[in-house]
Structure 1
């Protein structure tokens, strides 16, 4: 087995900014970094436990996000029990390698973002 990290195949024009675009494509959806963060903090979780950890996400959006993260090889889906069916989600090695990116996003947000008292006054 190689010590090289798994490489994800993505379109890139070879410009200096392409790695930024590729990373943003992987974690750029609203809930993706939150899901990755919750799995980093808690380890493997079942669907309902993960939904509780990602407050405010609907079951459909969580399911779609997990499918997308699975297709991008960032999250594993493992059936741990057949009757009743129980599925557990965990990060792949590639998903775990996002830890410094996710923590940097968290740290930046803690430094520069504050909650809006009135939703209409929010800048984003």
Structure 2
């Protein structure tokens, strides 16, 4: 994976805590990391295929997440065909560069988190 030289603009530049806060702001919402993880594992996916891979997400929420990740320059949206309209989502260079972060989050979760006694409230 080639490292991108273009950097994303942040609001807290110059503060020593800024890199952590800015990264958390980019990927810290509930479904963001799940979508990034699924795209890292599967490569480019159409909307319905991505929804199936994520599981438990509504079409509206997935659409909002994809729009947000696209605005944050982590996901690309490409129209593959006009009739019927088919859209494919893939990671940008910035999105791909999050792979070690997402992998480390998964590793940490496997090591430190366990299913709750009540499976309905499980975080893993």
TM-score with structure 1 length normalisation?
0.91
Partner of 1:22: 22
* 1:86–1:122 distance in 2 versus 1, CA, 3 Å: closer
Cα distance between partner residues in 1 of 2:122 and 2:92: 35
1:76 pairs with 2:76: yes
Over 6 Å off, 4+ runs:
120-123
Cα distance between partner residues in 1 of 2:7 and 2:80: 28
* 1:94–1:57 distance in 2 versus 1, CA, 3 Å: same
Cα distance between partner residues in 2 of 1:10 and 1:22: 7
Gaps of 5+ in 2: none
TM-score with structure 2 length normalisation?
0.91
CA RMSD across the alignment: 1.8
The answer to whether the Cα contact below 8 Å between 1:5 and 1:94 also exists between their aligned partners in 2 is no
Cα deviation, residue 16, structure 1: 1.2
Cα distance between partner residues in 2 of 1:4 and 1:57: 31
